[in-house]
């Protein structure tokens, strides 16, 4: 069994921590706040941006006593400076510490985002597709990825994460606050929180077993679904009228997130990973039930 540090033990990190602890690993969950962690996870309190405080908290772990680090932090706000601090500065502090521990690669994992892809024409993208983001979110994520790749770590580019407690879209459809974009399909990419955690658990397990790993994986479900299809499906399951189509040229009420691309998960699938929720239908059905 391994000793694993999860830096940024939040929405995905806590689920991962619970799964790894249940597997028998010794898990340390690092977070800034005092919210409880899953049973069996040792809590470490520190701000990832406070280098001295972080080093003090990590000193509770014996030198050289960590086999794997998973960096799963989230930004405090949706602005460039918050992203830089969370995904570049904080990550840099953790990588410095990991390097000082003499951790051998590939034992650092980073939860990135499909925001690194700027494609907006419905094209298929995978790990080999160009990453030329123009939005700050993708730019900062790509900057963080370079730090991880320089440390011979592994990047998991997650799509939009939904799951327990994240029902904003469901409630918007229920309340009739969404409209559909006119025109051709607009593709969306997502992954259920539990599958995001399971994908990390799976990749960490392969690293510990000495199995080969690629430097980057795309973490999305099997269905890069048209946004209109998702909204209509939710309306039907909720028993409410389908969202109307917005007039041409009007800005629809449904939020435009993730561009317009079809992300492929073939590389992750090829490692033997299987999904609990292979499409939005299974995932949202579990929330609605």
pLDDT digit string, tens, across residues 132-186: 999 999 999 999 999 999 999 999 999 999 999 999 999 999 999 999 999 999 9
Burial status of residue 203 (CB atoms within 10 A of its CB: 0-12, 13-18, 19 or more): buried
Nearest Cα to Cα of residue 213 among 268, 275, 146:
268
* Span 232-238, average pLDDT: 98
| Burial readout 206-245 (b: 16 or more C-beta within 10 A, e: otherwise) | bbeeeeebeebbbbbbebbbbbbbbbebbbeeeeeeebee
Q: Does the structure show a pLDDT above 80 at 213?
A: yes
| DSSP H or E stretch at residue 218 | strand 216-219
Q: How confident is the model at residue 266 (pLDDT cuts 50, 70, 90)?
A: very high
Beta carbons of 136 and 116 less than 8 angstroms apart? no
C-beta neighbour count of 55 within 10 angstroms:
14
Per-residue pLDDT reduced to its tens digit, 76-129: 999 999 999 999 999 999 999 999 888 877 799 999 999 999 999 999 999 999
Q: How confident is the model at residue 17 (pLDDT cuts 50, 70, 90)?
A: very high
How confident is the model at residue 104, as a pLDDT?
A: 74
CATH class belonging to 3-165+190-224+263-277: alpha beta
pLDDT averaged over every residue in the chain: 94
How confident is the model at residue 252, as a pLDDT?
A: 56
How confident is the model at residue 255, as a pLDDT?
A: 45
* Span 259-272, average pLDDT: 96
Beta carbons of 113 and 160 less than 8 angstroms apart? no
Q: In this structure, what token pair is assigned to residue 8?
A: 């940024």
| N residues, the chain | 289
- 44 bridge partner residues: 30
Orientation angle between helical segments 136-150 and 90-100, nearest 10 degrees: 10
DSSP 32: S
Q: By percentage, how much of the chain surpasses pLDDT 90?
A: 88
| DSSP H or E stretch at residue 27 | strand 26-31
- The radius of gyration of the chain from alpha carbons, rounded to an integer in Å, stands at 19
User: How many CA atoms within 13 Å lie on the side-chain side of 205?
Assistant: 15
pTM exceeds 0.85 for this model: yes
How confident is the model at residue 248, as a pLDDT?
A: 75
Decide which of 252 and 152 is more confident: 152
């Amino acid at each position: 069994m391994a000793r694993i540090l999860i830096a940024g033990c939040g929405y995905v990190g806590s689920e991962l921590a619970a799964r790894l602890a249940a597997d028998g690993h010794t898990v340390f969950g690092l977070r800034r706040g005092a919210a409880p962690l899953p049973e069996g996870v040792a809590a470490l309190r520190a701000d990832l941006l406070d280098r001295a405080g972080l080093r003090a908290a990590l000193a509770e772990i014996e030198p050289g006593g960590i086999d794997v680090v998973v960096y799963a932090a989230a930004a405090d706000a949706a602005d460039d400076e918050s992203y830089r601090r969370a995904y570049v500065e904080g990550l840099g502090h953790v990588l410095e510490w990991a390097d000082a521990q003499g951790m051998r690669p590939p034992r650092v994992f980073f939860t990135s985002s499909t925001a690194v892809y700027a494609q907006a024409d419905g094209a298929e993208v995978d790990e080999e597709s160009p990453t030329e983001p123009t939005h700050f979110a993708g730019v900062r994520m790509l900057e963080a990825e370079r730090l991880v790749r320089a440390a011979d770590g592994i990047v998991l580019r997650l799509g939009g994460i939904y799951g327990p407690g994240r029902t904003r879209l469901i409630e918007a459809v229920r309340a009739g606050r969404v409209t559909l974009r006119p025109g051709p399909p607009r593709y969306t990419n997502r992954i259920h929180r539990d599958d995001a955690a399971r994908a990390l658990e799976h990749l960490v397990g392969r690293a510990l077993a000495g199995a080969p790993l690629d430097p980057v994986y795309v973490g999305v479900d099997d269905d890069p679904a048209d946004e209109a299809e998702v909204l209509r499906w939710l309306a039907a399951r909720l028993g409410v009228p389908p969202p109307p189509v917005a007039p041409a040229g009007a800005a629809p009420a449904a939020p435009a997130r993730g561009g317009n691309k079809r992300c492929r998960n073939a590389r992750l699938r090829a490692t033997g990973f299987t999904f609990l929720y292979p499409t939005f239908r299974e995932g949202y059905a579990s929330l609605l039930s």
